[in-house]
Amino acid sequence: MDYANLDHFFKSGKHHLKKGPIALIFAEDEVELASTILHHTKLGFMKTIIFSKSMPALPTEVQDRIAPVYVDLFNAPDVSTIINKISTLTSNQWIYFCYNAEYLFFPFCETRSVAELLNFHSEERREAMLTYVVDIYSKDPLTSGEVISRNKAQLDKAGYFATARVDPKTHQPMDRQLDCFGGLRWRFEEYVPYSQRKIDRISIFKASKGLNISKNYTFNNQEYNTYACRWHNNLTAAIISFRAAKALMNNPDPKSEIKDLFWEHSTPFKWQSSQLLDLGLIEPGQWF
């Protein structure tokens, strides 16, 4: 069933939120929306809810696993507000969110489902998972309009770093929390607002009443914002994203000043979790 707007979904679509894991895809435009939807339906989410102005043509076999909600995100409540509303209706279910032209990868995702991933994560008494937004782009000139190409995707194999997150009240480092940087947002930081330069995002979490996510993708429950428990490393995942490349391509300033996004540390993205494991961009923790 399709939903004409957010109110229609929250009134008549709550049954889609009864059983997780649930994927939320927020479409800012139509770029790679179909591939984003298909990628996530293959990972094993019980339901994929798409918030978009329009829907692409999709195979009939995925229709029963998706729920389109027609909304213009630029004339709607902030994404964080929508997520928080869903969280109040989806107590104790796992939720994942991303934007169009973004793709979730976790350790061994080619042979293991997202449900298996989160069952193990739950057994380790974790209720949220840190994801890194890893920028991808093509070698083509920024002016070519071909920067977003799944067949020619490149990623940065170096240039990532983290700093301790500082508590704004005490000015002291926060326990097991990091601000992470790298990729296009770091290399072309002069074109990226300071508040949007981080690449850490708590994109996978267990919903509960009273839980709220902010616009910078952190939660009011500080344990949700940690990268691991106190005793050992935990699972992390990556969101492979064309979003930064798309923004640079559509911004007239970098478009006129940057030839292309390729550099000496670019390497072809193989669309395999093993490559991300080898580069240290995702962490298996104790999941072997």
Q: What is d(CA 103, CA 153) in angstroms, rounded to the nearest whole number?
A: 13
Q: What Å distances lie between residue 80 and 39, 177, 214, CA to CA?
A: 23, 20, 6
pLDDT at 60 > cutoff 90: yes
Residue listed under structure tokens 């996978």: 204
Measuring CA to CA, how many Å separate 24 from each of 9, 48, 166?
13, 6, 30
Residue 145 pLDDT > 80, yes or no?
no
Handedness of CA 288, 178, 43, 186 (dihedral sign): negative
Q: Is 74 helix (H, G, I), strand (E, B) or coil?
A: helix
The 10 Å Cβ neighbour count of residue 26 is 20
pLDDT recorded at residue 144: 78
Average pLDDT of 23-31? 98
Q: Is the pLDDT of residue 288 over 80?
A: no
**By C-alpha distance, which of 247, 230, 30 is closest to 133?**
247
d(CA 96, CA 201): 11
For residue 141, the model assigns a pLDDT of 82
pLDDT tens string 183-216: 999 999 999 999 899 999 999 999 988 999 999 9
CA dihedral 29, 195, 230, 108 (to 10 degrees): 30
Q: Which residue has the tokens 């008549």?
A: 12
CATH 3.40.50 boundaries in the chain: 1-100
Rounded to 5 degrees, φ, ψ at 257 are -110, -20
Q: How far apart are CA 137 and CA 153, in angstroms?
A: 5
The pLDDT value recorded for residue 142 is: 85
Do the beta carbons of residue 185 and residue 246 sit within 8 Å? no
**Could you tell me the pTM of the whole model?**
0.96
What is the topology classification, in CATH, of domain 1-100? Rossmann fold (3.40.50)
φ, ψ (nearest 5 deg) of residue 277? -65, -45
Over the Cα atoms of the chain, what is R_g? 18
